[in-house]
Amino acid sequence: MKCYVPGSNVKVLGRTVHALARFGDELYLESLPECMLLRTLNAAESAYAMVKFNKNFFSYFNYNYYSTEDNEGLKCKISMKSALNTFKSPTHMDKQVENLEIKLDPEACKLIFQLKCKHGIVKTHYVSILDCKAMQAVYTKDSVPNRITSSQRLLSEALTNFQSSDDQVTLEASTQSFILRNYTECSADSLKVIRTQINLKPLEFTSYTIGTETTITFTLKEFRALLSFAEALSLPIQLHFETTGRPAVFIVHNGSTFEAHFVLATSKADNATQATATQNTTIDRKRKESSFQDSARKKVHIDNDISKCLDEDSHLFNFIDIPDEIPPPSALFNGDGAINGVNEETNNVNSSKINNDIDSDHIPASPTAKAMIKSVFRRCFESTFDPRAIRGVILAEDSDSE
């Protein structure tokens, strides 16, 4: 095979290689009398991509230039990494490259990419051939009941609402709506997973034909890759799909020059799981609200119990009667004027009840707030407190004469 790609189409070829690199690690090339095919397959064999460049895409095209047989063209497999090295910056290739020559060296078993750039610069890449075989996927796109044509911008903007951690997307198509939502496993915690759902109307699409309402699930990584490819070329996307388990085919083409097919395997969307996850989220939310309300009720109940307890007679918070047998006031003082057992305020409060003959002018005023009295003289209000037990014990020494 030998062909020449004009500078205006080198950019398209470069973007194609970069798009296929997001699918698989190996690139299959095959030359036919009327076109050249580029194919790849991901490691899980769940996504397949094929791009066909028609003969008019090239300025010169000979599919069996180095072949001795008339009907034998190029069939080989090369490393995708080597192909990426050839097209490192496809965005500016049309401004730098004037012509690209692709040919096969049958003696060295290498595929040669020769870039003729401006100012007479020539870049030659020799890519080793890993295997001499072709690959073909079996799928259908013409007899499917569901066909949708959409602008790449519409679907790209819809996917911006999904998380980068989402692996799969579920598509639910009916005659009235087109729904995209992220797929979550049944084992995932519904309270920790972000649920995303986009609802699009049929009028938003270029064409919308749904013969069989269905729900399918496919990988999101490859879906983003094909959307980026269509967005870079500003081309619409055609979606052809059937029912669950049958592949979904995404087509991007410009009419006559090239056509790209992206085939994604579909799995059954576990509607029961998705519905259960939603229901579980609602149930868990209701349980939390119910638990919060129960906690509030319990708290109110506890507060009522405490209030009731405070209203009742309690030796911790209420005054009690002092025993009848009280030592004379002088017994509460030692010979040096120090207070025995309790502080001065305690003695004065009790002495006001014990002996009315004491001069009230020398007694300091009692605190007005009962709460302060309870906290300061709590021991005095205990039912087990006996003032006679501290008789003769000096708890506070005399202060210095100075």
pLDDT digits (tens, 9 = 90+) for 267-309: 865 554 444 344 444 444 444 444 445 544 444 444 555 444 4
pLDDT value of residue 126? 93
Q: Has residue 244 got a pLDDT over 50?
A: yes
pLDDT per position as a tens digit, 70-84: 667 788 999 999 999
Does residue 91 have a pLDDT over 50? yes
The answer to whether residues 147 and 244 belong to one domain is yes
**Quick check: is 287 in a domain?**
no
- Residue where a domain stops, chosen among 122, 137, 152: 137
How much is the pLDDT for 187? Answer: 57
- Domain membership of residue 360 (yes or no) is yes
Question: Amino acid identity, residue 120?
Answer: G
The mean per-residue pLDDT over the stretch 73-97 comes to 87
Q: How does DSSP classify residue 333?
A: B
Same structural domain for residues 188 and 122?
no
What is the predicted pLDDT for the residue at 255? 83
For 148, the token pair is 């949708």
Is residue 276 domain-resident? no
Residue 16 lies in a domain: yes
166 and 51 in one domain? no
Task: For residues 99-127, give the mean pLDDT.
Answer: 89
Mean pLDDT calculated for residue range 24-53: 93
pLDDT at site 399: 67
- Indicate if 45 and 123 belong to the same structural domain: yes
Same domain, 240 and 160: yes
Same domain, 23 and 126: yes
The answer on 173 and 131 residing in a single domain is: no
In the chain, % of residues over pLDDT 90: 43
CATH of the domain at 160: 3.70.10.10
pLDDT of 315 over the 70 cut = no
What CA–CA distance (Å, rounded) separates 246 from 101? Answer: 39
pLDDT at 176: 92
Is a pLDDT exceeding 50 seen at residue 398?
yes
Reading the block at residue 206, the tokens are 């270029």
Which carries the bigger pLDDT value, residue 294 or residue 337?
Answer: 294
Distance CA 140, CA 263 (A): 10
**Which residues are CB-neighbours of 202 under 8 A, at least 6 positions away?**
175, 176, 177, 178, 208
**200 or 314: which leads in pLDDT:** 200
Phi-psi region of 158 (alpha: psi -120 to 50; beta: other; left: phi over 0): alpha
Same domain? For 153 and 127 the reply is no
Q: Does 301 fall in a domain? A: no
Position 303 in a domain = no
Q: What is the mean pLDDT of the chain?
A: 76
Nearby residues of 233 by Cβ (< 8 Å), 6 or more positions away: 12, 15, 252, 254
Give me the mean pLDDT over the 325-333 stretch. Answer: 44
Supply 118's token pair. 């401006």
Q: Would you give the distance in Å from CA 111 to the centre of its chain?
A: 43
Burial of residue 92, with CB atoms counted within 10 A of its CB: 0-12 exposed, 13-18 middle, 19 or more buried? exposed
Q: What is the pLDDT of residue 341?
A: 43
Residue 374 has pLDDT above 80, yes or no: no
How confident is the model at residue 165, as a pLDDT?
84
Q: What's the whole-number mean pLDDT along residues 34-49?
A: 93
Report the pLDDT averaged over residues 341-369: 46
In a domain, 319, yes or no: yes
Q: How many domains does the chain have?
A: 3
pLDDT at 340: 44
The amino acid that residue 141 corresponds to is K
Tell me the mean pLDDT in the region 244-261. 92
Residue 8 pLDDT > 60: yes
Last residue of a domain, which of 206, 240, 269? 269
Q: pLDDT per residue over 172-195, tens digit each?
A: 999 999 999 988 776 556 667 788
Q: Choose from 48-62, 100-114, 306-320 the range with maximum mean pLDDT.
A: 48-62
Domain that holds residue 11: 1-137
Q: pLDDT for 131-176, tens place per residue?
A: 888 888 888 888 899 999 999 999 999 999 888 888 899 999 999 9
14 and 105 housed in the same domain: yes
pLDDT, position 59:
93
Domain boundary among 93, 118, 137: 137
Give the CA angle between residues 51, 212, 50 to the nearest 5°. 5
In a domain, 280, yes or no: no
| pLDDT at residue 350 greater than cutoff 50 | no
- pLDDT band with cut points at 50, 70 and 90 for residue 331: very low
Mean pLDDT is lowest, of 106-110, 293-297, 331-335, for 331-335
- Looking at residue 309, its pLDDT comes to 44
The pLDDT value given to residue 332:
40
pLDDT single digits (tens) 206-232: 999 999 999 999 999 999 999 999 999
Q: Assign 202 a pLDDT band (cuts: 50, 70, 90).
A: very high
pLDDT surpasses 60 at 319 = no
> Do 264 and 160 belong to one domain?
yes
User: Is there a single domain that holds both residue 29 and residue 124?
Assistant: yes
Both 126 and 145 in one domain: the answer is no
